Amino acid sequence: MNVDIGNALSSVASPGVSRESLERLDEQVATAHERIETGMANEEHGYEALNLPERTDPDEIRTAVDPVIDAEALLTIGIGGSSLGAATITNALESDTETVFLDNVDPEWVSSHLERLPLAETAINVVSRSGTTAETLANFLVVREAFESAGVDWTERTIVTTGDSGPLRDLAERHGLPSLLVPDGVPGRFSALSAVGMVAAAVCGHDLEALLAGAAAERETLSGSLFDCPAYAYGATTYALDQRGAGINAIMPYAESLETSAEWFAQLWAESLGKDDLGQTPVRALGVTDQHSQLQLYRAGPRDKLVTFVTTEESADRPIPTTDVEDLAYLGDATLGELRTAEFEATEASLAATGRPNVRVELEHIDEYELGGLLYGMEAACVLAGELYGVNTFEQPAVEWAKKATRGLLGGGDFAEAAAVAEKTELRVER
């Protein structure tokens, strides 16, 4: 990926960063880079994720999915880091295999998929790093039962990706299911380039080697200066903007197929950096659609935001038919792609004209190689930002609290602390 931070510089943006302040920040970037390289070399928790381009074995993943490679549909059951990386990849690329991601535990929605899908031709991809996540295990139990009710042997159609111990690992062993390991030292939101994200890609027939090659090329750019490394340029600039008041980062890909990448990014940014009263709030948007719903705020609301555009060159395009309606003549001879590009450029310029910082992340096109680069680049940017904030990028204790409370509510553990808070804060207004 390439990164253009020109519209974040203080000569054009407020809040903005000056080139001089970025040069000063570059000393911290060099120190952070050394820390990151040490963490990678020592295979430390979290930093190990940046070694995935060399560690992930595409053959192992292809062997595991081989029994279901002809599936018409793939049902991935996982949540957060165990779903969004895979969804980012498969939603961005075309495939004959239909992909469905069961992350939410919405009974109507889950049932609607189970009633609609051809279960005998559907593969199940269960993913949970911990192997204990309530939503994932509950959805899996429901799916299993639906397969059994339809007379389909789910054990013939299921692949499990999880840690080396835990309930999901036990279940995989008990039923002799093909299983893959979530690599040690790789937190879920950094695991897209492992089996966690790539099983779905393999079933859909995507080029795993190209995904890893794109990531490896991004890894090659990591260096001690933000001026030489797109990922660090992004991480350092977003951090510097936050220090100057841009506490919100609206990420806005300009391609329908990249919409999920904004969801993936939101988890990466929120869970990694949101701690110790620090962090930057990610907001998901989609170009051009959200120009017509959020741009007003971005251009004229509080100066507490930056907008991250993710752009790509056109691949397939479609001409806009000419018409004899005079007011529409300007569309004649244009294509949908040209219209989208014009809308993007106009939006970028409209933010710049009112001094609203924005950053452009550019992909050459949407394919495995570029996606691998985007996933790796944003992860490296996030690790760098975490070093600059001085937070522990790789933990998420605040989420664990709610997980325990959920278990407690279902009678699966100690809920006393959460119950006491819920009791104290209850304030109902009834009709």
Which chain residues interact with ligand G6P by CB under 6 A?
79-82, 128-130, 133, 136, 188-189, 271, 396, 399
Ordered strands of the 281-284 beta sheet: 2-4, 358-363, 305-312, 248-253, 281-284
Rank residues 349 and 399 by Cβ distance to ligand G6P and give the closer one. Answer: 399
Rank residues 6 and 412 by Cβ distance to ligand G6P and give the closer one. Answer: 412
Terminal alpha carbon distance of the chain:
53
- Are 244 and 16 a contacting pair, CB within 8 Å? yes
**Rounded Cα distance, 197 and 186, in Å:** 12
- Give the single-character DSSP code of 309: E
Rank residues 45 and 299 by Cβ distance to ligand G6P and give the closer one. Answer: 45
Residue with tokens 């006491």: 420
CB of 188 to ligand G6P, least distance (A): 3
**Beta bridge mates, 284:** 251
Rank residues 15 and 188 by Cβ distance to ligand G6P and give the closer one. Answer: 188
Q: What separation in angstroms does the CA of 260 have from each of 32, 43, 219, 225, 251?
A: 29, 29, 23, 30, 11
Q: What separation in angstroms does the CA of 247 have from each of 240, 255, 304, 305, 325?
A: 10, 25, 6, 6, 45
**Rounded Cα distance, 128 and 393, in Å:** 20
**Rounded Cα distance, 178 and 192, in Å:** 19
Instruction: Label residue 117 left, alpha or beta by phi (over 0 means left) and psi (-120 to 50 means alpha).
Output: beta
**Rounded Cα distance, 210 and 373, in Å:** 10
* Residue 26: strand, helix, or coil: helix
What the block records as the tokens of 19 is 């080139």
**Rounded Cα distance, 142 and 138, in Å:** 6
CB of 382 to ligand G6P, least distance (A): 13
CB of 395 to ligand G6P, least distance (A): 9
Radius of gyration of the chain (CA): 23
Rank residues 141 and 328 by Cβ distance to ligand G6P and give the closer one. Answer: 141
- Give the single-character DSSP code of 392: -
- Are 327 and 320 a contacting pair, CB within 8 Å? no
Rank residues 140 and 239 by Cβ distance to ligand G6P and give the closer one. Answer: 140
CB of 172 to ligand G6P, least distance (A): 14
Question: Where in the sequence numbering do the catalytic residues fall?
Answer: 271, 292, 403
**Rounded Cα distance, 200 and 98, in Å:** 10
CB of 162 to ligand G6P, least distance (A): 8
CB of 74 to ligand G6P, least distance (A): 18
CB of 413 to ligand G6P, least distance (A): 16
Rank residues 81 and 214 by Cβ distance to ligand G6P and give the closer one. Answer: 81
